[in-house]
């Protein structure tokens, strides 16, 4: 049940069963996907609450639709919530860009646009992190995501991926070195 020495997360089996028509697994999957509005609300608050409640509901539906269509690509390298998180970020970043392009008519709206543009810039700052993270070794990427996105300890990560703590730390520190190199390269290329 593992590829390249990597343990497959139990969520993969739940997704496979749900896709095969198992009603109990489908119900569990739907419960697990309730993380989408929670993630989007938290991200919205973190970026100044640029989106209204209705916009967050729309964004939730768009993200859920994408995740549902892409379930067959879930490989089980991390928890379902970690995998879904990247879709939430992508959809929210797209919505920020879209919102920024909308015409404004009043001074109050212009101020809101300036605040929104700052938030877009801040959010887009992280897009390159995700892009660079996808370029490193999958074992290192998995450990970094678990450490920083799920705030797990090295011991918890080791148990989750079926490894020992020292190997987990090695993957983390080597991955962070590689990630830093990629980020520095991206930064230099952006201003070259």
Ordered structural domains, the chain, with CATH: 1-123 (1.10.1740.10), 135-192 (1.10.10.10)
Q: Spell out the alpha helix ranges (H) of the chain.
A: 11-19, 23-32, 35-46, 53-70, 80-101, 107-133, 138-149, 154-161, 165-190
Rounded-to-integer distance, Cα 39 and Cα 155, Å: 25
Span 114-170, pLDDT tens digits: 444 444 444 445 677 777 888 888 888 888 888 888 888 999 999 988 889 999 999
pLDDT bin (cut points 50, 70, 90) of residue 103 is low
The SS3 call for residue 3 is strand
Residue 96 clears pLDDT 70, i.e. is over it:
yes
The β-bridge partners of 6 are 3
- Output DSSP code: residue 71: G
- Output DSSP code: residue 132: H
Chain length of the chain: 192
Rounded-to-integer distance, Cα 132 and Cα 116, Å: 25
| Reported pTM | 0.51
Mean pLDDT of 45-50: 78
Span 7-29, pLDDT tens digits: 888 989 999 999 999 999 999 99
160 and 168 Cβ atoms separated by less than 8 Å: no
Rounded-to-integer distance, Cα 71 and Cα 66, Å: 9
Residue 3 clears pLDDT 50, i.e. is over it:
no
- Return phi, psi of residue 76, to 5°: 80, 25
Q: In the prediction, which pLDDT does 117 show?
A: 46
């Amino acid at each position: 049940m593992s590829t390249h020495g990597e343990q497959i997360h139990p969520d993969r089996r739940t997704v496979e069963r749900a896709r095969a028509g198992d009603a109990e697994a489908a119900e569990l999957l739907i419960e697990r996907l309730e993380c989408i509005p929670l993630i989007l609300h938290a991200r919205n608050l973190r970026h100044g609450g640029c989106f209204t409640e209705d916009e967050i509901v729309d964004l939730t539906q768009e993200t859920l639709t994408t995740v549902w269509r892409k379930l067959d690509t879930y490989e089980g390298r991390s928890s379902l919530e970690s995998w879904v998180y990247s879709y939430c970020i992508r959809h929210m970043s797209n919505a920020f860009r879209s919102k920024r392009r909308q015409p404004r008519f009043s001074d109050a709206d212009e101020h809101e646009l300036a605040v929104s543009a700052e938030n877009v810039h801040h959010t887009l700052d992280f897009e390159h992190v995700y892009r660079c993270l996808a370029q490193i070794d999958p074992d290192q990427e998995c450990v970094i995501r678990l450490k920083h996105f799920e705030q797990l300890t090295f011991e918890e990560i080791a148990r989750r991926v079926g490894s020992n703590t020292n190997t987990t730390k090695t993957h983390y520190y080597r991955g962070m070195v590689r990630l830093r190199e990629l980020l520095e390269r991206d930064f230099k290329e952006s201003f070259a």
